[in-house]
Amino acid sequence: MVLSSLEDGPRSHKTAFLQKLFDFGLGVLIVGMVLTFFPGFASAAATPGFPPEAEGGNAGEAAETLLKWKSALDDQSRSLLSSWQGGDACSRNWTGVTCDSPGVVTGLNLSSMGLRGMLGALNFTALPHLLNLDLSNNSFRGPIPSSIGNLSRLSTLNLSVNSLSQSIPSTLGRLTSLRLLYLRYNLLSGRIPKEILTLNSLLELTLSFNNLTGAIPTSIRLLGNLTLLGLMDNDLSGSIPPEICAMNSLSLLYLGANKLTGSIPPCIVNMTKLTELSLWGNYLSGSIPTCIVNMTNLTLLSLQENHLSGSIPQEVGKLRCLIALTLYGNNLNGFIPTSVGNLSNLVELSLASNDLSGPIPQEVGDLRALTLLALSNNSLNGSIPPSVGNLVNLTILLLHFNKLSGFIPRELNNLTSLVEFTLARNELTGQLPENVCLGGSLEVFTAFDNHLNGPIPRSLRNCSSLVRLWLQGNRLSGNITEDFGVYPMLKLIDLSLNQLSGELSWTWGLCSSLESLRISDNLIFGEIPPTIGNMTRLGVLDLSSNYITGGIPRELGRLVSLIDLSLTGNNISGDIPHEIGLFSSLAKLNLARNSLNGPIPTQLGQCRKLWYLNLSRNVIRGSIPSEVGNIQFLQILDLSSNFLEGEIAQDLGKLTALADLNLSHNGLSGSIPHSFYDMLGLASVDISYNELEGPLPDIEAFRRAPYAAIQNNKDVCGVVAGLRACASSSNKKANPERGKKLVVGITVSVTGTFFLIFAFGGIYLLASRKCKDENCNLREEHTGDPFVVWSYDGKLVYQHIVEATEGFDLKYRIGEGGFGAVYKAELSPDRVFAVKKLHSLEDGEVIGVTSLEREVNCLANISHRNIVKLYGYCLHSTNSFLVYEFLKRGSIREILGDDEAAMELNWVRRVNVIRGVANAVVLHAPRLLPCVDSPRLDKQQCSVGC
């Protein structure tokens, strides 16, 4: 045919050419019309900007990448992504996957799906065309992969509300197309990378609620297009950089809950587009810049919990767009500016916890939109303005802890939407608002520690929304039976220290959420209703100082959460129920000043957490059960003024934490158990008016006890002033361990091996002779041949020692020896001695005289650097004592009890000391001095063993 056509004449050839030209033009016209009227067709055919190799191939590679990441997640996460199947991420309905053209994945949104795993297993390089990535509100953990920086087309990145950790990768600085970056609510740490501050396309950046540290970079100014900057709740420090003021596009700035210091930069006034400024919870100081009032677009100004001082600018009334003004928790002073009444859009006004004074301005009543007014914890005075009653939208009104006085305005009855209303600790008088809970929404009402009187508001009876009600410390009256109803939500109620009367209603048992019930110091009568045992969440029950009668209901044993039970000062009778042992959490039990009888239940020993136990002034009989000794944390025990009898249980000595013990006014007999020597924490004791006898324990509590705390017993003796001294044998029997106690000196005993107990220091024997009657004027009480080793007047030395210790006052006591207390006597700056004062004499005998003879004779014959030096002694019916060298560093026992000092005394030194003492004891030390030649000390005495 071609040959045939060529063979045609010129006309046919021309016609064919024109036909082809027409066909081409028509084709171009059709394509143009399609592109004009169907522009989506072009993008479907080939996505502009994507490389040709992406067409038709991206979905497969993306599917492989996503499926591999899915397999690395936990079982639950894989089930949530069950739609991810097949080899094409765009050909089927894959959850969260968006494709802008066939085979090109441009979006991945898996927000709030509850996924768990790590992002490191996701190969972001296989998703180069992603525009939006939202994995927020899941449980992803681990670091943010640096490969995210390869998503160069990314516009939105949201990884908020996860558990991502470590630092923010600097590779995010490559995301030059990024407009929205959300990383809030994670565990990210480290500094804010400067690389992301070069992303000048960013409109919103939120890094809040992480653990970021360091200062806010000054290069933050480069984000000139930013409208939202959130750095709240991190650990950022330093001052607010003035460069931040150059961010003229910012409308939302959140820097609260950090560690920022310094003052608020005055240049912040240049940020005229700001609508919300949050700087709360930092360490900002200085005053509120007056120029801040020129930021007339502000709707939120949050500066609370800083260290701001000065007054609130009067010009604050110019911020007419303000919805919330929160300045609480600063050091602001002065008056509340009256211009605050101009803030007609204000919904929240919180000026609490400052040093504001003066009256509440009546202009506050013009803030008709107000729902929260917090003026508590200031020094505001005067009366509550009646205009506050205009604030009918108020849900929270906090006026507590001020100096407000006068009557509560009747206009406050208009506030029927109140949820929280506090008037506590003011000087208010008159009656409470009648309609305080008329709206039925009141949850918290506190008016304690005022001078209020009159009845309980009637609206409270049916106020089932109540959670906390504190009215204690007033003069409120009324019938508690009639004025209160059933409160299913009530947790805390305190009506103490009022003039309420009536009986406790059984309906209190229906308050199943109650955790604390205090109605002490009122005029309540009748019995405790058993239904109180139904309040199983009750932790505190205080009905003390009323006129309650009857017994303690056994149903109270069901209060397993009880921590504090106080029924003191009533007319309760009967036994203490055995069910009291079920109070496993009980810490304080006060049943004093009642008419309880019967024995102390042994089950009380099961209350192992008890620290306070008071059963005094009852009619309790029997003995003190030994089980009381099992209450190991007990600190205060008062069983006084009962009819207890028998001996004090030995197990009571196990109460090593006990600080205050009162067993007075009972019929206890026998002696104080030896186990009391273990009660080292005992600070106060009273055992008066019993039938006790024998020696008192020589412990601090008894030594400091006044005679009144011991008096009127059968025959006690010992350490209390005014009592006779116990016989030596009695004393030894009562405390066989006392002879082993060492404070200043060191005693050496050799039983097969040598044990080191003597103090550091040298001993050099100077002299030894007895104090003569004509020199010291002391009555000789010791048989034998006493001696004195002082080289001058013994009487004078005696007087100096008594004067230096102010008559052996307790403040000079430094320890305890085997048979006496040890005092520090400073006769002069260079003459300081340790004086062991012996216990009182009895029947002409010094207590422990035999042991003392050995100690004196031994030390008089030994001079060694490892054994304490004895200077002399004196025996007298008033004060008998031994005088030793004073060792500043104490004894070896004290040194070994201190970790640092023990390390200094290394093993080489310890062996040398032991060897030296051993040599001294057997009189073989190379430098051992012979006995001092004294006319009052013969050789036989010199050889007495230690």
Residue numbers belonging to the annotated binding site for ATP: 837
The torsion angles phi and psi of 862, rounded to 5 degrees, stand at -125, 135
Integer Cα distance of 642 and 208 in angstroms: 64
Residue 890 near residue 834 (C-beta atoms within 8 A)? no
Closest to 437 in 3D by CA, of 490, 514, 506? 490
Please enumerate in sequence order all residues whose Cβ is within 8 A of that of 84, keeping only pairs 6 or more positions apart, or say none: 63, 66, 67, 70, 94, 95, 97
- What is the Cα 537 distance to its own chain's centre? 23
Residues in binding site: 837
Q: What tokens were used for 166? A: 């470590």
Integer Cα distance of 946 and 939 in angstroms: 15
Q: What tokens were used for 361? A: 């301005």
CA distances 144 to 119, 160, 189, 206, 519, Å, are: 7, 12, 12, 16, 58
Q: How many CB atoms lie within 10 A of CB 776?
A: 21
Q: What tokens were used for 507? A: 């309906």
Among all chains, which residue has been given the structure tokens 């959490």? 585
DSSP 125: G
| Strand, helix or coil for residue 666 | coil
The torsion angles phi and psi of 826, rounded to 5 degrees, stand at -105, 100
Any idea what the Cα angle at residue 391 is, between residues 387 and 392, rounded to 5°? 130
Integer Cα distance of 69 and 61 in angstroms: 13
Integer Cα distance of 822 and 792 in angstroms: 23
The DSSP element (H or E) to which 22 belongs, if any, is helix 10-37
Residue 51 near residue 153 (C-beta atoms within 8 A)? no
**Terminal CA-to-CA distance of the chain, rounded, Å?**
145
Among all chains, which residue has been given the structure tokens 């002065």? 334
| Strand, helix or coil for residue 99 | strand
Any idea what the Cα angle at residue 681 is, between residues 676 and 684, rounded to 5°? 80
Written as one string, the DSSP assignment of 868-935 is PPEEEEE--SS--EEEEE--TT--HHHHHTSHHHHHHS-HHHHHHHHHHHHHHHTT--TTPPPPP-BT
- What is the Cα 419 distance to its own chain's centre? 28
The DSSP bridge pattern shows strands 139-143 and 116-118 to be parallel
Q: What is the 3-state secondary structure (H, E, C) of 608-620?
A: CCCCEEECCCCEE
User: Alpha-carbon torsion 412, 414, 415, 416, what sign?
Assistant: positive
The DSSP bridge pattern shows strands 324-326 and 396-398 to be unpaired
